[in-house]
Copies of this chain bind each other. A is one copy, B any other.
Amino acid sequence: MGGDLGATATVPAVVDFLSGNPDVQILLFGNESELYGQLGGQLRDRSGHLPSARLQLIDCPQRVESGDRPARALRHKRESSMWRALAAVAEGRAAACVSAGETGTLMAMGTTVLGTLPGIERPAICTALPTVSGRVYLLDLGANVDCGGETLHQFARMGAARLQVAERLREPRVALLNIGAEAGKGNRAVKAAAELLAADVTLNYVGFVEGDALLRGHADLVVCDGFVGNVALKAIEGTARLLIEQLRATGRSRSGWRSWVARPLFKSALGFLDPAQYNGASMLGLRGVVVKSHGSADSAGFGHALRVALAEARGGLPDRIAARLAAVTSGH
């Protein structure tokens, strides 16, 4: 029910996803009449089959509103689609939860309903960004805002497990986001983390990456404090959006044919942040797979978030992460 588009984005994505993944079942939590309304025109998938045998609607009387504070929603919205979908994961009725609801609330409810893995206080958020040669995963992106070196080390291990399981990278290149490439640069947390990562034989640690090299493809995973990661991610998105707006405005202010000719170029630039390729942030450190879809994602974007969740669930990500974290505490 969450996100800017609600069921108009999620329902078509679910129908399409069921059609493309014949061994998957979907539990759709929300307002039943809204969901039925959206399903009406789309009950048949592309091959003409009804996916409904693998699609179950679960009516939820409450809804998390955008104005609800996480702490309040946590107490008073236990009949919401968000809570109930997480409960289905906790009870083993579902392998993963995908939501377009508010991040803070999803994180708070995820932590309460599923619990965190040993040694994890709050889940870390990890998402992909495009690079010149592929993609880079960045974590944390917002929940852990005062991290020490050990927390950054946890992120590195969790993120590496995520990339091994769901991206099939055997030895993902792990870097630390820093303000210089030379040894000795950085704040206290990054300096401490650099020593821990360099000494961790289970990680393919490649050193520091600066803000302007984030998208250059030097690493598969870039680890940082949630405050820094959130600012960096939003700065990248904001700059891309602004530049594209400016290019469009310049195109429009010139004669029509110039703008028409330049259109394919804009389209390519927009692909830079195409949610159908990059949407879906993983909440790592929970006892279950939870993927957050961006609030503005359309059905193609939500479809990608579903694929992210499927890959993580199939790979048994929470167990893999638990094993890697246990190895840290036992010194391996």
Instruction: List residues of chain A with CB under 8 Å of any chain B CB.
Output: 132, 142, 145-146, 177, 179, 186-188, 190, 210-216, 224-228, 230-247, 250-251, 254, 258, 261-262, 264-265, 268-269, 272
Contact = CB atoms under 8 A, between A and B. Distances in A.
A67 to B, nearest CB: 11
Contacts of A177: 231
A247 B211 CA distance: 21
B215 A242 contact: yes
A232 B230 contact: no
A144 to B, nearest CB: 10
Given A210-B231, A232-B232, 12 more contacts: A179-B226, A211-B230, A211-B232, A212-B234, A212-B241, A231-B235, A236-B239, A246-B269, A246-B272, A247-B269, A250-B265, A254-B264
A251 B251 CA distance: 14
B241 A186 contact: no
Nearest to A230: B179
A231 B228 contact: yes
Contacts of A268: 246-247, 250
Nearest to A251: B265
A216 B234 CA distance: 12
A265 B239 contact: no
A29 B250 CA distance: 43
Secondary structure dominating the interface of A: helix
A162 B258 CA distance: 42
A112 to B, nearest CB: 19
A294 to B, nearest CB: 12
Contacts of A233: 211
Copies in the complex: 2
Which among A211, A231, A242, A268 has the highest number of chain B CB atoms within 10 Å? A231
A247 B265 contact: yes
A79 to B, nearest CB: 25
A237 B262 contact: no
Contacts of A186: 145, 227
Which among A211, A225, A235, A265 has the highest number of chain B CB atoms within 10 Å? A235
B262 A227 contact: no
Nearest to A268: B250
A186 B143 CA distance: 9
A240 B238 contact: no
B237 A212 contact: yes
Contacts of A269: 243, 246-247, 250
Nearest to A271: B246
Nearest to A190: B227
B234 A142 contact: no
A210 B179 CA distance: 20
A215 B215 CA distance: 20
A230 B178 CA distance: 9
Contacts of A146: 187-188
A240 B211 CA distance: 12
A243 B146 CA distance: 32
Nearest to A191: B145
A286 to B, nearest CB: 20
